[in-house]
Structure 1
Amino acid sequence: MTVDEKRKMELDTMRQIMGIYCHNKHNTQRGELCDECQDIWSYAKYRVEVCPHMEHKTFCSVCKTHCYGPIYGEKIRAIMRYGGPRMLWVAPIKVLRHMFLEWQDKRSSK
Structure 2
Amino acid sequence: MNTTSAPEGVVVAGDIRIGTGRSRRFVGAEHGADVSYFYVENQPGEGPGLHWHPYSETWVVLEGTARIRVGDENFVAEAGDTATGPARVPHCFTNIGDGVLRILGIHASPTIIQTFLD
**Higher helix proportion (structure 1 or 2):** 1
Q: Which has the higher strand share?
A: 2
Scaled by the length of structure 2, the TM-score of the pair is: 0.22
TM-score normalized with structure 1 length? 0.23
